[in-house]
Amino acid sequence: MRLKSNIAIAVFTGLAFFILNFSFSSCGIYSLNDVGTIPDSIKTVKVNFIENRAPYVNPQLSPSLTDKLKQKISSQTRLTSTSNDNANWIISGEVRDYSVSTSGVTTTDGRQQASINRLTVSVHISRLDQLSGKTDEYDVSRSFDFSSSKTVQQAESGLLDEMIRNLTDEIFNRIFSNW
């Protein structure tokens, strides 16, 4: 009986070790800080101000997005940020769309009315590699839902941090991981 118990413990321990080992070691495809390979020749980056060219302009969006992208690049890559035009990479962008649409409708007393509105923000990003002369371009778009009982201005104040965080992550991933 004691032999069966020891075998069961050994099998359980081996199985637990295998599962834990497998779960903590990735297959190398993704990781939380998965920055794609930045060529060794690339040392500096300049992030230009992300212009707001959308028909509707949120005055806080462009400066906040630009600052957050600069911070993320500085903290999560080995690149040195510079304001010089001779940087190895120059990242530029513009907000092209900032619009509100209805995404949910309810019927009350036979009348249809909006219940959920959606704020969509689209940003066009370009990355110029000055060493190779190659420019890569990316389009990023995110939608943010809010109650139709709120004005656009009320929704913006409540959604601004989320918009900046999500758009920055998406832009960073497209530039450095090409997701």
Above 80 in pLDDT, residue 32?
no
> What class does CATH assign to 32-176?
alpha beta
- pLDDT score of 16: 45
Name 104's bridge partners.
116
67-80: string of b/e by CB count within 10 Å (b at 16+)? ebbbebbeeebebe
Q: What values do phi and psi take at 130, rounded to 5?
A: -70, -20
Which of 6-10, 85-89, 97-101, 104-108 shows the lowest mean pLDDT across its residues?
6-10
Averaged pLDDT, 12-25: 44
Name 112's bridge partners.
107
Summary count for the chain: helices (H), strands (E): 3, 6
Averaged pLDDT, 19-38: 47
The amino acid occupying position 131 is L
Predicted confidence (pLDDT) per residue in 132-175, tens digit: 999 999 999 999 999 988 999 999 999 999 999 999 999 999 99
- pLDDT score of 48: 98
The amino acid occupying position 57 is V
Question: CA 52, CA 97: separation in Å to the nearest integer?
Answer: 9
- pLDDT score of 7: 57
| Residue 65 and residue 123 in contact, taking contact as beta carbons nearer than 8 Å | yes
The model's pTM is 0.75
100-139: string of b/e by CB count within 10 Å (b at 16+)? beebeeeeeeeeeebeebbbebbbbbebbebeeeeeeebe
Predicted confidence (pLDDT) per residue in 65-101, tens digit: 999 999 999 999 999 999 999 999 999 999 999 999 9
Question: CA 83, CA 118: separation in Å to the nearest integer?
Answer: 36
Per-domain residue ranges of the chain: 32-176
Which of 25-39, 97-111, 154-168 shows the lowest mean pLDDT across its residues?
25-39
147-174: string of b/e by CB count within 10 Å (b at 16+)? ebeeeeeebbeebeeebbebbbbbbbbb
Model confidence at 9, pLDDT cuts 50, 70, 90, reads low
